[in-house]
Structure 1
Amino acid sequence: MLLTISTAHVPATDLGYLLHKNPARLQTEELSFGKAHVFYPEANVDRCTVAVLLEVDPIALVRGRRGPAGDGRQLQQYVNDRPYAANSFMSVALGRLFATALSGRSKERQELVDISLPLNAKLPAIAAGSGSELVRRLFEPLGYRISTESGLLDETFPDWGESRYASVEIAATTRLRDLLTHLYVLIPVLDNEKHYWVSDDEVEKLLKRGEGWLAMHPEKDLIVSRYLKRQRSLTREALDRLAEETPEIEENQEETRNQEEQQVERSLGLHEQRMGTVLSVLRGLGARRIIDLGCGEGKLLRYLLADPQFEFTLGMDVSWKSLEVAKERLHLDRLPERQKDRIQLVQGSLMYRDQRLSGFDAATVVEVIEHLDAPRLEAFERVLFAFARPMHVVLTTPNVEYNSVFETLPTGQFRHRDHRFEWSRAEFETWAKSIADQYGYEVRFQAVGPQDQMLGAPTQMGIFSRVGGAA
C-alpha cells in the first residue's frame, strides 16, 4: 500500500524537517505486520514528495492463529486484499513513522509547525466501501479538495458491480500535523475494518487525534462508529465524551464578546443599528430562506422570526450553551407549530463543510469573521462561498479606523479581547473583492452606524450576490 504527500511550499524540502525524515536516505521501520519504508521520490526547492510504502506480510498476519483443519477460512487468511489495501495498517504506520510530526513538534524548525502549507496526499489504491461519496463526506467538511477514481471490479464481468477500491487524492492549504491527523483517523473509517482488536484504548486514541475537529464534524457519529468497529459501548462512550468536550473556549469567547460589545458600543446603539440594517438589506434582496452563521444567543433570529417575509431561518453556532440561551429567549418550546416550523437551531462549526448549510437564499455573518485566525478564516471562506453558496451573503465586521472615537477604548486595542484582527475599510474591501472574484460573486459595501467624515462608520458591511445566480 502506498501513500504520497507532496508540497510546493518554497523551500519544499522543509517537509523533511517537519517529518523528521531525511530526504537523502531510505528509512525502514519494522512493524508487527511487515515493514514500512519512507523515501522521497523528489526533493528539491520547488517541490518535495514523501512516500510511505507498506510491505504487509500475510503470513505474519495469521501466525499463531488456529482454526479447524480444512476450514476454508484458513486459506482466506493467506489469500486476501490486506497486503495491498488494508487501511488500518497505513494508519498504524503513520502513527509510528511520524509520531513527532503528529504531535506538532519540530526540534530544528518549530516555526514551521503552525504554518499552513499547500499539501497534496495521494493513495493510489485504498479500500473505500462507499466510493467517492464517503471520501467526500469525510474530507470535504475539513476543507479538502477531493479527487477520486474507481471502476468496475472486473470489466469482463460487469454484473459483479463496482470495485470497493479507489484511487483517492486530497489537497488543501493546511498544517502538516492536521493532514496527518485527518489521515490517521479517517483512513480506517473508509475501510470499516481493522487488523487488530479494538479495545478501550482505541477510544483514547480517537479522542486524542480528534481533538479540535471531530466534535464539530457533521459525520461525527459515522466516524466514531466505524473507527471503533461499531462496538456500541465504546461508540457511546466516545460520543458522550465528545459532547462533554465541545470547546469551552468558544463558549467563553461568546460570553466575553457579548459583555465587551455592550460596554464599547452601547453609547452608539450600534447593535440595534446593525440588526436594522441587516434586516433592511435582506428585505431588499427578497430573501425568504435565511441561515444565520454564528447566531450566538439569537439576537438576529428574533427579528427574522417576527418578519413574515422570512419563511425559514436556520441558526448555527458552535456553542451549545449559546444555542440553549437562544432557545429560551425565542420561547421555541412555546411557539405555535406554524411558527416553530419557521426556525431551527443547530450546533456546528463554521470550519467544516455541512450539507445543512445548502439551499438558502441568504446567509448572515454578523460580527463573526474578526474572531477567526487566518487558517480558520480561510476554511470558513471555502465553507461559505465554495460549498454552501447561498444566493447572497450579508457580512459585517468592525471598522478599526473608527476605534479612536470610543473614549473607553485604549489606543491600539481591539474592541473585544477575542478579536484576531480588525480591518480598515481598505483592508476589508480588498478581502471582500478577492473573495467575490474567487468564488463567482459580486460585492457592494454599506456603512452601518454614525459616519465620521474622516474615519467612516463603526461597522462595515459587505453584501455579496452570486453572479448571474450561477450555482
Structure 2
Amino acid sequence: MLLSITTTYYPATDLGYLLHKHPDRCQSFPLSFGQAHIFYPEANEQRCTATLLLDIDPVKLVRGRSANLEQYVNDRPYVASSFLSVAIAQVFSTALAGRCKDKPELVQTPVPLVAKLSVLPCRGGEGFLRQLFEPLGYTVTAQNHALDETFPDWGQSQYYTVELQHTLPLAELLSHLYVLIPVLDDDKHYWVGDEEIEKLLRHGEGWLTEHPAREAITRRYLKRLHRLTRTALAQLAEEDELDPDSTQENHAEEEAAVEKPISLNQQRLNAVVTTLKESGAKRVIDLGCAQGNLLRTLVKDSFFEQVTGVDVSYRSLEVAQERLDRLHLPRTQLERLQLIQGALTYQDKRFTGYDAATVIEVIEHLDLPRFAVFERVLFEFAQPKTVIVTTPNIEYNVRFEKLPAGKLRHRDHRFEWTRQEFQTWAKQVAERFGYAVKFQAIGEEDPEVGSPTQMGVFSHQI
C-alpha cells in the first residue's frame, strides 16, 4: 500500500525536516507485520513528495498461531488499513507528535498538502468518505475501482484511490489519517482495549469533539465495542463541556462592561440589522450566535422569514433558548427560528441556502491557523449572498478607561486587529472567493484611532 504526501510550500524540501526523513535517502523500517519504506520520488524547492510504502507479510501475521486460508488470502497487503495507521505512528512519530528540532516554527505553520492513498477501502461508500474529511476542510477527489475491469457488469468495488488536499500543519494531516483510515476500513488488525480510547482522544484532540460524525468515528475506531464506545463518547462530551461556558459568560460580561459606557453592543446590533434589510436578506444564519443577542432582535422583526443560530457551545444555545422563551412571542414567530450546534471550522450542509450570514464578534475567538478552514466553510461552501463580519478595532482600546493598557477586550480573544489588518484580510478573502467588500465603522469615530468596532459587508458577485 502507498501513501504519498506532496507539498508546494516554499522551499518544498522543508517537508523532509517535518517528517524527519532526508529527501536524499531511501529508508526502511522493520515492523511486526512487515517493512515500511520511505522515499522521495521528487524533491526540489518548488515541489516535494514523500512516499510511505508498506510491505505487509501475511504469513508473518499468522505465524505461530492457528490460521485458516482467509487469514493468508485477503486484501490486507494491498489496501490502507490500521496497519498503515501503525506505520504512521512508528515511522512518522516525531511529525505526528508535532515536533521539529531543526525548524520548530514549521510545526504549527499551515502548508499546502496533498495526501494520496492509492487503495483506500471505504466501507460506507464515497459519501461516508466525504462526511469524514470534508468537514475538516479537505478537498476530496475519489476514484472508484471496478470489481473487475474485465467484467464491468460486476459493478464497482468499495475501494478508491483518494486525494486529500488542504492547507494545514502536517501534524494535523497525520492525526486525521491515523484516526480515519481504520474508520473507513471499519476494522483493526489488533486487539482493541481501553488503551485505544486514549489513542483516539489523543490523536483526535482539537477536532474530534466538534466533528459532526464523531459518534460514527468513535464507534468504528473502537470496532463497535459498546462499552468502549460509550466510555469514549462520554469523555468527548466532557471535553465539550470543558469548553468552559460559565467562564466564557464571565468573560463576555467583562467585555460588555468595558463597552457599556458607549452602548456599543446595541449600536452593533442596529448596524447589522439595518445592513441585512438593505441587502434584502430574508433568510439569515448567525454563525457563532452565543447567547442569542442578534437572534432576539431578528426573530421579533417580521421582515425576516428564517432565522438560524449556530454555536459550538451547547450551553450557550441553552441560554439563547431560555432568553428567547422569555420573549413570549407568538408561535408563528418562533417557528421562523432554529438553533443548531456546529463549528465554524467544519463544513456543514446546514449552513447553506441562506441569503445572509452574520459573524458578529466571532473571528477574534478563532485560532489564526484555523482561518483558512473557516474562510472556505463560510465563503466557498455555505456561500451566502451577503456576509457581515464585525470585530473589535484594537486601535480604539486606548479609549476604554476600564481596560488596562495592552489588554484585549475579552480573555478568550486570540487577537484583535487594527483597521488596516482587518481590511487587508477582508479584501484578500473577497478576491479569493468572488465577493466584493465594503467597510463600515460602528460607534463614534475617533479622529486618531477610528471607531470601536469595524464591520465588513461582503456581497457575492454572481
> What are the residue-to-residue correspondences of 1:220-259 with 2, within 5 Å?
220-246=214-240, 248-249=242-243, 251=245, 254-259=248-253
Task: Pick the aligned partner of 1:182 from 176, 179, 185.
Answer: 176
Provide closer, same or farther for how the CA distance between residues 193 and 336 of structure 1 changes in structure 2, counting only shifts above 3 A: farther
Aligned residue identity for 1:44: N
Task: Pick the aligned partner of 1:377 from 346, 371, 387.
Answer: 371
- Secondary structure of the 1:258 match is helix
Compute the displacement of 1:218 (Å): 1.0
Structure 1 distance, partners of 2:247, 2:168, is 24
Provide closer, same or farther for how the CA distance between residues 465 and 121 of structure 1 changes in structure 2, counting only shifts above 3 A: same
Aligned equivalent of 2:362: 368
Say if 1:332 and 1:340, in contact at 8 Å, map to a contact too: no
Structure 2 distance, partners of 1:229, 1:247, is 26
Say if 1:131 and 1:150, in contact at 8 Å, map to a contact too: no
Say if 2:243 and 2:313, in contact at 8 Å, map to a contact too: no
- Secondary structure of the 1:3 match is strand
Aligned residue identity for 1:289: R
Count residues with an aligned counterpart. 462
TM-score, normalised via structure 1 length: 0.92
User: Which range moves more in the overlay, 179-188 or 138-147?
Assistant: 138-147
- Secondary structure of the 1:261 match is helix
Provide closer, same or farther for how the CA distance between residues 348 and 253 of structure 1 changes in structure 2, counting only shifts above 3 A: farther
Say if 1:250 and 1:319, in contact at 8 Å, map to a contact too: no
Structure 2 distance, partners of 1:333, 1:198, is 51
Matched, 1:318 2:332: no
Provide closer, same or farther for how the CA distance between residues 336 and 227 of structure 1 changes in structure 2, counting only shifts above 3 A: farther
Matched, 1:99 2:80: no
Compute the displacement of 1:249 (Å): 4.7
Compute the displacement of 1:337 (Å): 5.0
Task: Pick the aligned partner of 2:270 from 272, 276, 281.
Answer: 276
> What are the residue-to-residue correspondences of 1:14-413 with 2, within 5 Å?
14-66=14-66, 74-246=68-240, 248-249=242-243, 251=245, 254-331=248-325, 337-413=331-407
- Secondary structure of the 2:131 match is helix
Structure 1 distance, partners of 2:273, 2:41, is 56
Say if 1:131 and 1:166, in contact at 8 Å, map to a contact too: no
Task: Pick the aligned partner of 1:432 from 423, 426, 431.
Answer: 426
Compute the displacement of 1:168 (Å): 0.8
Say if 2:80 and 2:117, in contact at 8 Å, map to a contact too: no
Aligned residue identity for 1:343: L
Compute the displacement of 1:133 (Å): 2.2
Structure 2 distance, partners of 1:448, 1:333, is 27
Aligned residue identity for 2:41: P
Compute the displacement of 1:171 (Å): 1.7
Compute the displacement of 1:406 (Å): 2.2
Compute the displacement of 1:333 (Å): 12
Compute the displacement of 1:40 (Å): 1.9
Say if 1:290 and 1:363, in contact at 8 Å, map to a contact too: yes
Provide closer, same or farther for how the CA distance between residues 13 and 168 of structure 1 changes in structure 2, counting only shifts above 3 A: same
Say if 1:132 and 1:149, in contact at 8 Å, map to a contact too: no
Structure 2 distance, partners of 1:311, 1:213, is 33
Structure 1 distance, partners of 2:156, 2:279, is 46
Compute the displacement of 1:350 (Å): 1.2
Compute the displacement of 1:257 (Å): 4.0
Compute the displacement of 1:335 (Å): 6.6
Percent identity, aligned pairs only, is 57
Aligned equivalent of 1:448: 442
User: Which range moves more in the overlay, 449-458 or 116-125?
Assistant: 449-458
- What whole-Å deviation, never above 9, does each CA across 1:277-306 have from its counterpart, x for those lacking one? 111121222222221111111111111221
Structure 2 unaligned residues grouped into runs of 5+: none
Provide closer, same or farther for how the CA distance between residues 270 and 333 of structure 1 changes in structure 2, counting only shifts above 3 A: closer
Structure 2 distance, partners of 1:202, 1:307, is 51
Structure 1 unaligned residues grouped into runs of 5+: 68-73
Aligned residue identity for 2:209: A
- What whole-Å deviation, never above 9, does each CA across 1:184-205 have from its counterpart, x for those lacking one? 0011111112222222221121
- Secondary structure of the 2:236 match is helix
Structure 2 distance, partners of 1:134, 1:176, is 23
- CA RMSD, Structure 1 to Structure 2 (Å): 2.1
Aligned residue identity for 1:267: P
Compute the displacement of 1:454 (Å): 4.3
Compute the displacement of 1:412 (Å): 4.0
Structure 2 distance, partners of 1:92, 1:180, is 11
Structure 2 distance, partners of 1:220, 1:337, is 34
TM-score, normalised via structure 2 length: 0.94
- Secondary structure of the 2:459 match is strand
Provide closer, same or farther for how the CA distance between residues 43 and 86 of structure 1 changes in structure 2, counting only shifts above 3 A: closer
Compute the displacement of 1:387 (Å): 1.1
Provide closer, same or farther for how the CA distance between residues 290 and 253 of structure 1 changes in structure 2, counting only shifts above 3 A: farther
Say if 1:113 and 1:175, in contact at 8 Å, map to a contact too: yes
Say if 1:425 and 1:460, in contact at 8 Å, map to a contact too: yes
Aligned residue identity for 2:385: M
